[in-house]
Chain A
């Protein structure tokens, strides 16, 4: 069995897992989901690192440089902004939403 056959098998199975897992994400999280999935395609940076091993021409250097900048921006920016978003999702249980809870108690005492 050659490696392409194995690779295609992996691809199809991963696709199925993806559909299954993503279908369970609630609508309220679809924006962080999309941005999180976005950071995952930053995995292309691994391809850039591997590609750098064989680059030895000016065109090759330019390609590697551009790909490294773009890929890293994708992966780092994606994870940071997703984390920033998810940090804001708070439940109405008192301990989680401190800010609002303090306002609430203030007004109750009034």
Chain B
């Protein structure tokens, strides 16, 4: 190892340490921002070191360096613009796009390594770079489709090909064959590498298209883990400690979050990933277990009276709240009630929103202190002592049908909203949730429905509350 390589090794190691330290600081909202900056600092160190190595050790072609710098400038501009402009409701799409570009970059690095290895790449490089190409390409196309589904460009419904399993197996076989040929057929390395890329891209499409929009949060987590793994594989191929450690960290984060999400939906990860869930009400209707009873409607004034005379109110926000851009209205109502001496808390289901922890970010944006956001396990025992549970734009996560077997939501942990003394549901229309079934909560004896736009209804409630207090 030359002197510069030794220095570089330690700088990359330092960067890896800073990544771990940064992630560690994320264990509390107080220190999380600092943690992210520590991690970013590590990244700057690693990139600067890479450039120092590049110039100290020399390069084959000046064109390559110019192309590199121009690419970095364009990428940085695109990154800053997308990060500054994105709406918080669209975070899952952005994360998915970053998975796309990260996976793509990892595949390209691996491909480039195979292409430029002097006197033919060795077996280690072929195996690890091959894996980097395959995993990176699957992530690239899969994340692109996931982002499209979340953005609504591609229908969120599961899209299953006729004989999907046959296609899956066929493409997986093609990927495997090109991978094996890449390793054994040294005369056509580039051809096999390109074929592996192509088939892996195809598999990414086959993988994500059949999965319903409701399961996209889990898919994003899984693809995040894949990107990490792809980066680590590319790190093996070019023998770089920073890529290996960072890739492993991201892989661990992705796997941990995927398992947590799947647990929150009480479905094995394998069932989520095999697809087909959501948007299929035909089977349920045929089974004839639609809820009996009628929905009772109420008016904003009545809701205001209930809220003002309550001791304890629990808000149950769902993604519908964010779609109506009513987070701030809900925050204002909460603030108003607290001033009046009502105990207010927010019940956050693990899959509220479109990715893990999404609702927390959306409510943080509306200036709601994070202490008032309560997790499922902590809030559920409190519903029975709450006078009013106000559900805004949440559906499937409140459906008591989940408690008995035989429905699409069965077994999913739910918020025990129906245990509250009174339940008020603000809902845009009579439509069904993501799972595509009726919500039995709406037919409960203690439930009142307020149909309308969440923002308009909340504003009306706030006005009525103000009148009552003054």
Q: Taking the nearest CB of chain A, how far is it from the CB of B226, in angstroms?
A: 10
Chain B 36-47 interface mask (CB, 8 Å, partner A; 1/0): 110110010011
Q: How far is the CA of A25 from the CA of B367 in the complex (A)?
A: 21
Nearest B-chain residue to A18, judged by Cβ: B252
A64 in contact with B105 (CB, 8 Å): no
Q: How far is the CA of A24 from the CA of B35 in the complex (A)?
A: 14
Q: How far is the CA of A25 from the CA of B59 in the complex (A)?
A: 42
Q: How far is the CA of A80 from the CA of B356 in the complex (A)?
A: 19
Q: How far is the CA of A17 from the CA of B106 in the complex (A)?
A: 22
Chain A 74-93 interface mask (CB, 8 Å, partner B; 1/0): 11111111111111111110
Q: How far is the CA of A54 from the CA of B36 in the complex (A)?
A: 33
Q: Taking the nearest CB of chain B, how far is it from the CB of A7, in angstroms?
A: 5
| Known contacts A81-B83, A83-B33; A71/B54 CB under 8 A | no
Q: Taking the nearest CB of chain A, how far is it from the CB of B263, in angstroms?
A: 12
Number of A-B contacts (CB under 8 A): 413
Nearest A-chain residue to B264, judged by Cβ: A27
Q: Is B342 an interface residue (CB 8 A)?
A: no
At the interface with chain A, which of B70-78, B308-316, B420-428? Answer: B70-78
A77 in contact with B357 (CB, 8 Å): no
Chain B 9-30 interface mask (CB, 8 Å, partner A; 1/0): 0001001100110111011111
B236 in contact with A97 (CB, 8 Å): no
How many residues does chain A have at the interface if contact means C-beta atoms less than 8 Å apart? 90
Q: How far is the CA of A70 from the CA of B256 in the complex (A)?
A: 25
Nearest B-chain residue to A17, judged by Cβ: B20
Q: How far is the CA of A29 from the CA of B23 in the complex (A)?
A: 11
Q: Which of B76, B250, B367 contacts A40 (CB 8 A)?
A: B250
Max count, chain A CB within 10 A of own CB: residue among B101, B105, B116, B355: B105
Q: How far is the CA of A51 from the CA of B64 in the complex (A)?
A: 9
B239 in contact with A45 (CB, 8 Å): no
Nearest B-chain residue to A49, judged by Cβ: B50
B46 in contact with A25 (CB, 8 Å): no
A29 in contact with B231 (CB, 8 Å): no
Q: Taking the nearest CB of chain B, how far is it from the CB of A13, in angstroms?
A: 8
Q: How far is the CA of A83 from the CA of B34 in the complex (A)?
A: 9
Q: Taking the nearest CB of chain B, how far is it from the CB of A74, in angstroms?
A: 4
Q: How far is the CA of A7 from the CA of B234 in the complex (A)?
A: 12
